[in-house]
Amino acid sequence: MTAAPVAAGLRIRSGVDLVAVSDVDNAITQFGQRYLDRVFTAHEIESCAGLAQRVAEGLAARFAAKEAAIKVLRPRDTPLDWRSIEVRRDADGICTLQLSGTALLLAEQAGIVDISVALSHEGDIATAMVVALCATPPEDLTSTTEREK
């Protein structure tokens, strides 16, 4: 079965990921600022500031968003800085993705014209889903399955 195009010349890519909040909490405890600075942007860290559990929940959801975006961007073995995929949160709490560097280049190569992110967390699980609209056809209609992890 092949997916039907959503509109002439447009296709959808999607990615989803789960992260254990406790894993992020442990990483912050073990590696502190070094961990935060390697993975998250200043805006993301600032967006999640507050109680320790809230910080871990927010950052876990953001890490899930980065991984979900990677599934959409399909870098294969292209080097990718996690900070080049940034979750921007506005004053109303609405989150969007901002790509830069290699992530932006991969999006351009894939013909991505719009990209959306949704974050959620409950208990020890944080999740994110990313959906992108691509203006160019995929290279191979039979190979649209996401990699597993």
Partner 1 sequence: MEREIRQILAAHGRLGVDVYSLDADADLYRNGMTSHASVNVMIGLEEAFDVEFPIEMLRRSTFESVASIETALNSLTATLAG
Q: Can residue 67 be called a binding residue for partner 1 (CB under 8 A)?
A: yes
Residue closer to partner 1 by CB (options 34, 43) is 34
Amino acid at 56: A
Q: Does 35 bind partner 1 (CB under 8 A)?
A: yes
Residue 33 within binding range of partner 1, rule CB under 8 A: no
- The least distance separating partner 1 from the CB of residue 53, rounded to whole angstroms, comes to 17
Give the range of 31-39, 91-99, 105-113, 132-140 binding partner 1 by CB under 8 A: 31-39
List b or e across 92-111, with b for residues whose CB sees 16 or more CB atoms inside 10 angstroms. eeebebebeebbebbbeebb
* Segment lying near partner 1 (by CB under 8 A), choices 12-20, 50-58, 92-100, 108-116: 12-20
Mode of pairing for the β-strands spanning 95-99 and 125-134 = unpaired
Does 120 sit near partner 1 (CB under 8 A)? no
DSSP track, 29-60: HHHHHHHHHHH--HHHHHHT-SSHHHHHHHHH
CA distance 68 to 55: 20
Cβ of residue 34: shortest distance to partner 1, in angstroms?
Answer: 6
